[in-house]
Structure 1
Amino acid sequence: MMTTTTAGLDADALIAAAREQTGLTDLGDDAMLEGLHVLIDAINREAKLTAAAQGRWAQQITATLANRLQVEHYLAQHPALLDAPVEKPLFVFGLPRTGTTLTINLLNADPARRCFLRWEAFNSVPPAAKGALSSDPRYVAEQARLDMMLKYAPHISAMHHEDADSPTECQFSMAPSFCAQYYDSVLHIPSYQKWLFSTSYLPAFRYQKRLFQLLQENEGGQWTLKNPWHPLFLNDLTTIYPDAQLVMTHRDPADVVASACSLVYQVRKMFSDDVDPVEVGKSQLRTFDLMIERMMAYREKHGADSIHDIPYDAQLRDPIGEMKRLYARFDTELTVEAETAMQAMLDANPQGKHGKHSYDLADYGLDRAGVHAHFRDYTERFGIACRA
C-alpha cells in the first residue's frame, strides 16, 4: 500500500514556479486566487493524497497557472481579439453519464461548429493555425500521452474516452480560475465543494470567454461546448453569454448515479489509497440534487422551453433524428454535409468501442429503488423512463 503524504502544497510556491517557468507574471483577474487558495487548503487537509499524487498535483496546478499566464500575455499582445464576439454559443449539459459526450461528438462533426478540444485546453497558446486543430505539434504530443494512458489505464477509457482532438468538457476552460467541478470530482475535498456550491462563477466565465476569443483567432465557427456541471451556474453562464443556446440530456438516474460513482471512485483511487465508496455516493447525490434544483429554478425564471431537452434513450434510438430536433429548435440549418459527417462519426464509434463500463450501485451504499425514489420529482417532470 502506498503511504499518504503529510507535507502540503503551497499556493504561492506554485505561482512562483509557473512564473519562473514562463518568464511571465500577469495572471489576470485576481479573483482566481480565492479558488486557488481554497483548493490548496482542501487538498492539504482532506484529499489524503499519496506522495506520488502530491507531486503530480503540484505539476498539474503549476501547468494550469503557466497556461493562464501565457493566455493573458497573448491577449495583452493581441488586444483586438477581445473585440471579436462569441455569438450564440451552444452549451450541452446534464447529469453526468447522460449522453453529453455523444451529443457533443455529433455536433462536433458539423464543420460550421467550433468545439473546445482536449489538447488546446491544456496548451492554449498560440492558437492553432488555420486547419491545424488535428495536426498541431501540441495535438501530436497530447495524443501520444493519451495513447500511453490507454495502455496503462484502459478501464478509464472504457468509462470515458477522449482523443487529443476530441471536444473536452469546457470546465477545463474554467479550471485556470480554480472554479471547476473537475477538482471536486477527482479528489475528496468537501470544503472546496462547499465553496464551489456557494461562490460566483462570473470570474471563471469571463476568463473562459477571453480564452475562446483567443482560440478562435484562426479557427472560428459557432462555439459548441459540453460540461455536465453547467446546471450549477446557469445564471452566471447566461450573464456572460446572454444569447447562449442551452441543451440538457436526461437518463434514468439509477444508471447515472451508478456510472458516475464508478468513474469518480476509479479516478480518485489514482490519487489516494484511502477512498470511501459510500462517501463518493453521498457526494454525487449532493451534487446532482443541487444541479436539478438550480436547473429547475432557471426554467421557472426563464420558461420551460429556455432549455432544449434530449432523452438518452431517444438519442440512442435515433441520434440523427434528435440532432434534427435540436437544429430546428434553434433555427439552425442542418446541412447535408453536417448530417453525413454525423453519420460517419456514429459508424466509426459504436457504443462500447473502448470497452464495457460495468458498475453496481451497491458498491456505493445505494440501490436502484432508493435512487428512483430520491429523484422521483425529476423523472416524473421530464418523463424519464426508469428501469427497475
Structure 2
Amino acid sequence: MPGIPKPVLTSTSSILTPQPCVEMMVFYPQLVPIIMITVADITEKAEQQTGLKANLDPKVNEALTTLVNAMQEAKLTERGWQSMGGTITGNLVNRLKVENHLAEHPELLDTPVTKPMFVFGLPRTGTTLLINLLNEDANRRCFLRWESLNSVPPPKADELLTDPRCVESQKMTEMSLKHAPHIAAIHYEDAHSPTECQFAMSQSFCAQFYDSMMAVPSYHEWFLNADYQPAFDYQKKLLQLLQSEAPGQWTLKNPWHPLYLNALKATYPDAQLVMTHRDPVDVVASACSLVKHVRRMFSEDVDLEYLGQQMLRTFHLMTERTLAYKKAHGWDAIYDVQYTDLMQDPIGEIQKLYQHFDTPFTEALAQSLDNYMGNNPKGKFGKHEYNLEEYGLTEAQIRSEFSDYCKTFNIPTRS
C-alpha cells in the first residue's frame, strides 16, 4: 500500500519481529498494526546473543517495560524501529555479560571506587571539553565510548586505545562522521573518548539517553521521577569490573546528573561533584538543536514546539534539584565552573579545580592540556548554528524562566 512502511523483518541487527502482541504496537488509521516490539522480543534476542538468562531485577524490568511501552508514541520510521530495537537489545546484551562476569569474579564487587569525580551541568555547558581535559591526566580513568557497550572482558590498561573492540568502534564512528557530519559539528566523540556515564545507566533502562533519541512523553514523565538507585548500583558494578584491569581515579560526566544527585551520592559517598554553567539562552537553543537532529534520524515527524517545552521543563527541574542539594549539603558540596571562564582559560580552570580538590597539578599535565587544546580547536568538526524561535521559544521567555538560576550562580549572560 503506497505510503505505508513495510513490516519490520527479523535480522541479525534487529529484534523486531512481526508477530502478534498487545504490549507494544504502532497503529495506522483503519489498519491493523504492522510494526511492533515487546519486552519478550528484546529479552529473547539478548539471551540468544549471549547464551545467558535474563533474570532482571524488578525495578530494571519496570524501567524496560516503561520504555518499550512508550515507544508507540515516538512515530518512528521503519529504520527507527530497527535502530532503537537494536540499541535496547545491545544494552541488555552488555548488562547480561557484565552480570555474568561479576558472578564468575565476585571478588571484584569488594573493590572500592574511590573518590570518583562526576562532571555535570545543563547540556551544552562545556562538560565535554572539561572531561576531555581531565582525561589528559594519566592518573584518571574515564568511561570510554567503546567500552561502554562492549565491557566484557574488561580491557587492559595498556590496550584501551588498541583493543580490537576499540578499533572496530572507531571504524563505525568514522563512517557515521561521513554520513552525519551535522551531528559531529554539534557533538563528537572518538571511540576512545570519554563518554557520558548515562550509557552505563542506559543498561538499567533509566537514562535520559532514550528520551533524547525519541519523543516518548510517558517515559519522560516516568524518568523525571524514577528511582535512580538501581541504575547507580549497576553503574558502580560496571566500574568495578572495568577498573579490574585498568585502574585510576574514575572521572565521569553526564549532563543529566542534577536530576538524581541524592542517588549518586548514596552510591558514591566520597564523590567529587563538578557542575558547569552557561547562559541558559544558549543552553536551551543548542540542546534543542542537538535533540532535533538526533530524533530526525529515527522519525520523520518531530514536534519542535513539544521539544522546546520538554527541554524547558527538564532544565528547570535540574536547576531546582541542584539548588536543593546545595541547600541540604552546603554550597561547596558542588564545585562550580563557568562556561565563559572555561572557554577563555581552560588550563587555568583545570588548575583551580585541582586546587579545590587538593590534587597535584604538574607541569607535565599542563603541557598535555596545552597540546590537547592546540589539536582540538573549537569548531573542529564544523559550526553549530541554532535559534530559539524554531522551538516556539523566545529569549525573553528563557531569561524570565532562569533569572533566579543566573543570579544565584552569577552566570554571565549576553544581556
Closer, same or farther: CA 259–3 of 1 in aligned 2, 3 Å: farther
Aligned residue for 1:335? Answer: 362
Aligned residue for 1:175? Answer: 202
Of the structure 1 ranges 22-31 and 195-204, higher mean CA displacement relative to structure 2 is found in 22-31
- Of the three residues 324, 336, 344, the one matched with 2:351 is 324
3-state SS of 1:309 partner: strand
Distance in 2 (CA, whole Å) between partners of 1:11 and 1:232 is 26
Distance in 1 (CA, whole Å) between partners of 2:55 and 2:403 is 45
Aligned residue for 1:68? Answer: 95
**How much does 1:28 deviate?**
5.2
Q: Decide whether the 8 Å contact of 1:277 with 1:364 is kept in 2.
A: yes
Once the two structures are superposed, the pairs formed by residues 80-119 of structure 1 within 5 Å of their partners are 80-119=107-146
Once the two structures are superposed, the pairs formed by residues 226-237 of structure 1 within 5 Å of their partners are 226-237=253-264
Distance in 1 (CA, whole Å) between partners of 2:277 and 2:46 is 40
Distance in 2 (CA, whole Å) between partners of 1:364 and 1:26 is 41
Aligned residue for 1:288? Answer: 315
Q: Does 1:10 align with 2:38?
A: yes
3-state SS of 1:124 partner: coil
Q: Decide whether the 8 Å contact of 2:157 with 2:247 is kept in 1.
A: no
Aligned residue for 2:13? Answer: none
Query: Could you give the per-residue CA deviations for residues 320-370 of structure 1, whole angstroms, max 9, x where no partner exists?
Result: 111111111111111222222111111110000010000011111112122
Tell me how many residue pairs correspond in the alignment: 387
The structure with higher relative contact order (CA 8 Å, sep 6+) is 1
Q: Does 1:43 align with 2:71?
A: yes
Aligned residue for 1:352? Answer: 379
- Of the three residues 154, 163, 168, the one matched with 1:127 is 154
One-letter identity of the residue aligned with 2:42:
L
Aligned residue for 1:31? Answer: 59
Distance in 2 (CA, whole Å) between partners of 1:126 and 1:11 is 27
One-letter identity of the residue aligned with 2:206:
C
Q: Decide whether the 8 Å contact of 2:154 with 2:242 is kept in 1.
A: yes
Q: Decide whether the 8 Å contact of 1:2 with 1:273 is kept in 2.
A: no
3-state SS of 1:87 partner: coil
Distance in 1 (CA, whole Å) between partners of 2:365 and 2:58 is 41
**How much does 1:2 deviate?**
7.4
3-state SS of 2:58 partner: coil
Q: Decide whether the 8 Å contact of 1:121 with 1:172 is kept in 2.
A: yes
**How much does 1:130 deviate?**
2.8
Distance in 1 (CA, whole Å) between partners of 2:186 and 2:157 is 32
Q: Decide whether the 8 Å contact of 2:67 with 2:205 is kept in 1.
A: yes
Query: Could you give the per-residue CA deviations for residues 139-193 of structure 1, whole angstroms, max 9, x where no partner exists?
Result: 0111000100000000000000000000000000000000001111111011101
Distance in 2 (CA, whole Å) between partners of 1:306 and 1:148 is 42
**How much does 1:29 deviate?**
3.2
One-letter identity of the residue aligned with 2:406:
T
Distance in 2 (CA, whole Å) between partners of 1:267 and 1:368 is 23
**How much does 1:27 deviate?**
4.6
Closer, same or farther: CA 362–3 of 1 in aligned 2, 3 Å: farther
Distance in 2 (CA, whole Å) between partners of 1:66 and 1:166 is 22
Aligned residue for 1:19? Answer: 47
- Of the three residues 180, 203, 210, the one matched with 2:230 is 203
- Of the three residues 374, 388, 393, the one matched with 1:366 is 393
Aligned residue for 1:277? Answer: 304
Distance in 2 (CA, whole Å) between partners of 1:258 and 1:198 is 25
One-letter identity of the residue aligned with 1:112:
N
Q: Does 1:186 align with 2:186?
A: no
Instruction: Provide the alpha-carbon RMSD of the alignment.
Output: 1.2
Gaps of 5+ in 2: 6-25, 28-34
3-state SS of 2:274 partner: strand
Q: Does 1:256 align with 2:269?
A: no
Distance in 2 (CA, whole Å) between partners of 1:115 and 1:27 is 29
Aligned residue for 1:242? Answer: 269
**How much does 1:62 deviate?**
1.2
- Of the three residues 323, 334, 350, the one matched with 1:307 is 334
One-letter identity of the residue aligned with 1:130:
A
Query: Could you give the per-residue CA deviations for residues 2-35 of structure 1, whole angstroms, max 9, x where no partner exists?
Result: 7576422101111011001110114553321110
Gaps of 5+ in 1: none
Aligned residue for 1:136? Answer: 163
Q: Decide whether the 8 Å contact of 1:174 with 1:207 is kept in 2.
A: yes
Aligned residue for 2:250? Answer: 223
One-letter identity of the residue aligned with 1:118:
R
Distance in 2 (CA, whole Å) between partners of 1:289 and 1:128 is 39
One-letter identity of the residue aligned with 2:260:
F
- Of the three residues 324, 330, 352, the one matched with 1:297 is 324
3-state SS of 2:332 partner: helix
TM-score of the aligned structures, taking structure 1 as reference length: 0.98
One-letter identity of the residue aligned with 1:249:
T
Q: Decide whether the 8 Å contact of 2:80 with 2:298 is kept in 1.
A: yes
Structure of higher CA gyration radius: 2
Aligned residue for 1:163? Answer: 190
Distance in 2 (CA, whole Å) between partners of 1:366 and 1:65 is 37
Q: Decide whether the 8 Å contact of 2:43 with 2:54 is kept in 1.
A: no
TM-score of the aligned structures, taking structure 2 as reference length: 0.91
Q: Decide whether the 8 Å contact of 1:3 with 1:50 is kept in 2.
A: no
Distance in 2 (CA, whole Å) between partners of 1:116 and 1:98 is 19
Q: Percent identity?
A: 54
Closer, same or farther: CA 346–57 of 1 in aligned 2, 3 Å: same
**How much does 1:253 deviate?**
0.3
